[in-house]
Chain A
Amino acid sequence: MPTTLFLALSFLREGRTQSALISAAVGMGVAVIVFLSALIGGLQVDLLAKTLGTQPHVTVSRPEEQPRALWADQEDGAIVLTRLEQAAQRQRGLTGWQQTLEDIERASGVEACSPVVAGPGFAVRGTVSKAINLIGIDPLRYDKVIDVRSRLVEGRMVRGGAEAAIGVELADSLGLSLGSKLRVQAAGGRTELFTVVGLFDMGNREVNERWVLTPMRAGQTLLGQVGAITRIEVRLPDPFEADEVAKALSGRTGLETESWMQTNGQLLAALRSQSSSSTMIQVFVILSVTIGIASVLVVSVVQKRRQIGILRAMGSSRGDIARIFLFQGGMLGVLGSVVGVALGAGVANLFRSVAVDDAGEPLFPILLDTQLMVTASVVAISTGLIAALLPALRAAQLDPADAIRHD
Chain B
Amino acid sequence: MTDVLELEGVIKEFGDEVVTRVLHGVDMRVHAGEFAALVGPSGSGKSTLLNILGLLDRPTSGSVRVAGKETTELTEAQRTALRGEALGFVFQFHHLISALTAAQNVMLPLGIQVGRMTSEQEARAVEALGEVGLADRAGEQITKLSGGQQQRVAIARALIKRPPLLLADEPTGNLDTETADDVFKMIRAKSQESGIACLFVTHDPALAERCDRIFKLVDGLIVDVRPGANAGS
Interface residues of A (CB under 8 A from B): 1-4, 6-7, 10-11, 13-14, 306-307, 309-318, 320, 399-401, 404-405
Contact = CB atoms under 8 A, between A and B. Distances in A.
Nearest to B57: A401
B84 interface: yes
Contacts of A312: 56, 80
A7 B105 CA distance: 10
A6 B99 CA distance: 11
B98 interface: yes
A405 B97 contact: no
Nearest to B98: A14
List the 4 shortest-distance A-B pairs measured between CB atoms, nearest first.
A315-B84, A14-B99, A10-B99, A401-B56
A309 B83 CA distance: 13
B47 interface: yes
B206 interface: no
B117 A3 contact: yes
Nearest to B91: A404
Nearest to A1: B117
18 contacts: A2-B116, A2-B117, A3-B108, A3-B115, A6-B117, A7-B99, A10-B104, A11-B99, A13-B99, A309-B95, A311-B108, A312-B80, A313-B87, A313-B89, A315-B113, A317-B80, A320-B112, A404-B91
Interface string B77-105: 10011011101010100011111100010
Interface of B: 47, 51, 54, 56-57, 76-77, 80-81, 83-85, 87, 89, 91, 95-100, 104, 108-109, 111-117, 157
Contacts of B84: 314-316
Contact of B108 (A13, A314, A317, A401): A314
B56 A7 contact: no
Contacts of B99: 7, 10-11, 13-14
B157 to A, nearest CB: 8
Contacts of B116: 1-3
Given A3-B116, A10-B104, A316 B95 contact: no
Nearest to B93: A306
A306 B95 contact: yes
Nearest to B56: A401
B98 A314 contact: no
Interface centre among B57, B81, B98, B114 (most CB of A within 10 A): B98
Nearest to A14: B99
A7 B57 CA distance: 25
A379 B115 CA distance: 29
Interface centre among A1, A3, A314 (most CB of B within 10 A): A314
A404 B94 CA distance: 11
Nearest to B47: A405
B95 A310 contact: yes
A317 B77 contact: yes
Given A14-B99, A307-B98, A315-B112, 7 more contacts: A3-B112, A3-B116, A4-B115, A13-B99, A306-B95, A312-B80, A315-B84
